[in-house]
Structure 1
């Protein structure tokens, strides 16, 4: 079975979650055809002129567009991608005492540093385990769900600990803060399911029994200024301005490991070849079997690590059809996709509210084009705050819009991250990515 057939089968397996017995699951044939095509399409390279994210302003003055005068010809390890995963991998490798002290690492970034998902979203350091626990038990077993939960909590603690170990200047600019995460259920079914899951979670992991507070619908306006929710579960969490610590860490790594680390922005990896025993210049170099092609020339490497998330399937063809439909509102006539998701946080100093949504045309969701924001998504955001809060915005008054942008996320069909060695040596050695529920650190 070829890769395309396997991907189509995965798509159909996901579609079965719609629980519809009819052929094409009750969706028009032309719509399903377009949907398959979108899921199997090549994400291509990151677009050169993305929509402007306010999280990336101001740009980092020294590393945003950094590159060597001449592209290195050889590297022990090439890391493709400079977001939180690429930064974490690079930092871990450079600090790994088990590697040779001369191990050289080259980071390739298609655009400016941390310009994709990491630089296009506010980082809320939270775990979804509590309100998804029952679902996780059904999919992965109770013991596995417990382990996943513990790992998720340790991951957050480790990130907060790492951030608080940064130098004071970077800590201040990164706006690291301890906050409360308020999860609002928008309908009765979600609220019932979330509470049942939380109760199961509390029984399974007693050490977290008291970390969550449940607020019923009658008290939402008084306690949270929320107008239309069905209930709230809130708990301690963390938050950070993600672009700033990532670019700041890269800047400091370049100083500390100036003879071992190169960062090449605006240098996309366009192809990878595996040529055992042959160097990029034709000479014999058996230890460097990977040739990574870029518009600035080729690099030969011992290993390649893909940290490219939503664009990964451009180089990793078997990964196509990652994106999938969750159980959300999908109208095949208007092609509107509404997962019911709105997420927001408020800046502690300026009072600005950052809010995002997944409401859009389904084919605007299943795309790798982040150069523009669909008008209906902007309209949904502008209408959200007056409808959501009791006080702050009169119904007929729209919030002031300071900026609007979009970003890309890679998702897996089972919701789990992909980390490990690739079997096809011709496309790279290792892969690490998030799956929509968190990042690999």
Structure 2
């Protein structure tokens, strides 16, 4: 009982400290929509200001991670390195991209032509976070999402984001095939047609308006998408209950095998320059130049504490996404965890295996009930395993106060129903009256930002909470769309770290700037965003 009170007291102290540090004010009310109970806003604030923690040690079991990589899943050096040029925290797509880019860039090393030493820290087993728990889609939402982006971020930013999203999908798929055809086979990388279906008439109207705006704004991609109307959906795609769809070429992959496979090849290529330390969370970071009598020079200015010992490093790259605020206290509430649910279901014999040529999404209005707290994500995303025919389906439906937190050790009670009931309603060839055969269900933690855009770049000391710190970097905050942004975001961060500046292909609205941090990426904006969804039905 005493321990519980102590824990609650510490949590409350943290919330008060963050609120004071960030000078948080209540969100401004709007004039339209349903009335929001004050207790809803108060509880939302409390949840957003709660420590996202390091990843929990006993997560739900993701079938992407079964079987575990035979040599890398729990890899550790016999002795933790005491010195390293870079520490990369997090081993997902972004952490892998940053690591690969730093090792391959001559400008990153301590001397000309010498690659740097990079240490990857992972709190659990390798690739056990969001990358090892997601839907496995390389897909750009640019067509049906363009108009929303334009309204939120401006026309030029929407163009940049759309081009970057499409380029990233092409880049990662080409890179894997060029890196090693065997890896492409191991991770079941394949080109598929992505069918994004509108479940209701209003969503379909929004799709067509957005696609028209996209085609006018980005003429080089005018033929990137095709459309199918309601009358043709069942005949062409064997889908029912849809008002139409937008289609484009995309990719599907086994994400865990993809990233572990790249790390495996990096270790073979750089055996003396890469250390991967799993089950080794970074629990504390101190910025201080070490005593010259203990270490040569003053380059290793960061002390990173782990349960296995201390490492000194020159620079740190945070690739921890939804868990980032645990080590970066001032990011609390600006970037918050968001829990999604994934499942695997056995397909009936009547349903052909279409995993080699298509994948699907179904879109409908997102809702948030301020009285009950029930949040329903207006999206299902699914692919079919090309070998087994099993269907991998993801969405989220739960109490909002369970959704906005960093605990992936359980599935909410509301989370089972949508994944269990959706497929028979979606596929025309699903046997009438037959239920889904659920083989597994799990959760994963995404990272969402106040403005819905990733954060890329150097962290100023007011975001680290470490005065004088100038060697900490961040790449993450993909707000649910990471597979079309994470790889090249990691490459961009590595180029900036190496002193090459911001790549011209990176959307400037992704950058960590003072204006964005003070005016658009704030706790108040995050609260207002969720309140707006509850009040009006949209952000």
TM tier, smaller: over 0.9
Given that 1:10 and 1:413 are in contact with CA atoms closer than 8 Å, whether structure 2 keeps it comes out as no
> Is 1:440 matched with 2:486?
yes
Distance in 1 between residues matched to 2:193 and 2:82, nearest whole Å = 48
Shift of 1:149: 1.7
Of 381, 393, 402, the match for 1:343: 381
CA shift in 2, pair 1:350/1:161, >3 Å: same
Q: How many residues align?
A: 433
CA contact (8 A) 1:126 1:237 kept: yes
Distance 1:212 1:284, change over 3 A: closer
Alignment pair present for 1:222 and 2:235:
yes
How do 1:12-51 residues align onto structure 2 when only pairs under 5 Å count?
Answer: 12=27, 19-20=30-31, 26-51=35-60
Query: 1:210-229 CA distances to partner (integer Å, 9 max, x unpaired)?
Result: 22122222222222222222
Matched, 1:382 2:424: no
Match of 2:103 among 59, 82, 94: 94
C-alpha distance in structure 1 between counterparts of 2:404 and 2:161, whole Å: 28
Residues 166 and 308 (structure 1), Cα distance of their counterparts in 2 relative to 1, 3 Å cut: same
Cα distance in 2 for partners of 1:380, 1:141 equals 34
1:235-314 aligned within 5 A: 235-278=248-291, 285-314=297-326
Q: Deviations over 1:402-439 (max 9, x none)?
A: 11101000011111110111111627611111422233
Partner in structure 2 of residue 316 of structure 1: 328
Deviating more after overlay: 373-382 vs 3-12: 3-12
- The yes-or-no answer on 1:368 pairing with 2:396 is no
CA contact (8 A) 1:8 1:36 kept: no
Residue range with higher mean Cα deviation, 77-86 or 375-384: 375-384
Supply the distance in 1 between the matched residues of 2:232 and 2:115 (Cα, whole angstroms).
61
Alpha-carbon distance between aligned partners in 2 of 1:364 and 1:141, rounded to the nearest angstrom: 32
Distance in 2 (alpha carbons) for counterparts of 1:203 and 1:299 = 52
Q: SS of 1:367's equivalent?
A: coil
Tell me if 1:328 matches 2:328. no
Deviation at 1:2, TM superposition (A): 7.8
Q: Is the 8 A contact 2:233 2:240 kept in 1?
A: yes
Q: Pick which of 37-46 and 150-159 moved more.
A: 150-159
- Cα distance in 2 between the residues matched to 1:311 and 1:399: 33
Rounded Cα–Cα distance in structure 1 between residues aligned with 2:125 and 2:323 = 15
Q: Gapped runs of 5+ residues in structure 1?
A: none
Aligned-partner SS, 1:407: strand
Partners in 2 of 1:293 and 1:393 — Cα distance?
56
TM norm structure 2: 0.76
- Of 232-241 and 425-434, the range deviating more from structure 2: 425-434
Decide whether the 8 Å contact of 1:278 with 1:289 is kept in 2: no
| Partners of 1:145 and 1:105 in 2: CA distance | 35
Structure 2, unmatched stretches of 5+, are 1-15, 339-363, 488-539
Residues 74-113 of structure 1: matches in 2 within 5 Å? 74-100=83-109, 101-113=114-126
Query: 1:8-29 CA deviation, whole Å, 9 max, x = no partner?
Result: 859837xx6xx5458xx72222
CA RMSD of aligned residues (A): 2.3
8 A Cα contact 1:421 1:429, kept in partner: yes
Q: 1:402 aligns with which of 439, 442, 445?
A: 439
1:59 aligns with 2:71: no
CA positional deviation for 1:232: 0.8
- What is the rounded CA distance, in whole Å, between the counterparts of 1:11 and 1:349 in structure 2? 52
Structure 1 pair 62–5 and aligned structure 2 pair: CA distance change class (3 A): same
C-alpha spacing 1:20/1:332, structure 2 compared with 1 (3 Å): same
Question: Within 2, Cα distance between the matches of 1:357 and 1:293?
Answer: 36
Q: For residue 141 of structure 1, report the CA deviation from its aligned partner.
A: 2.7
Shift of 1:57: 0.9
- SS of equivalent residue, structure 1 residue 303: strand
Aligned residue among 190, 207, 210 for 1:194: 207
SS at match of 2:446: coil
State the alpha-carbon separation in 2 of the partners of residues 21 and 332 from structure 1: 15
Task: Trace 1:348-359 onto structure 2 (pairs within 5 A).
Answer: 348-359=386-397
State whether structure 2 residue 457 is matched by structure 1 residue 420.
yes
User: 2: CA distance between counterparts of 1:69 and 1:177?
Assistant: 38
Q: Which moved more, 1:124-133 or 1:170-179?
A: 124-133
After superposition, the Cα gap between the structure-2 partners of 1:8 and 1:30, relative to the gap in structure 1 and judged at 3 Å, is farther
Residue number among 153, 160, 169 corresponding to 1:156 in the alignment: 169
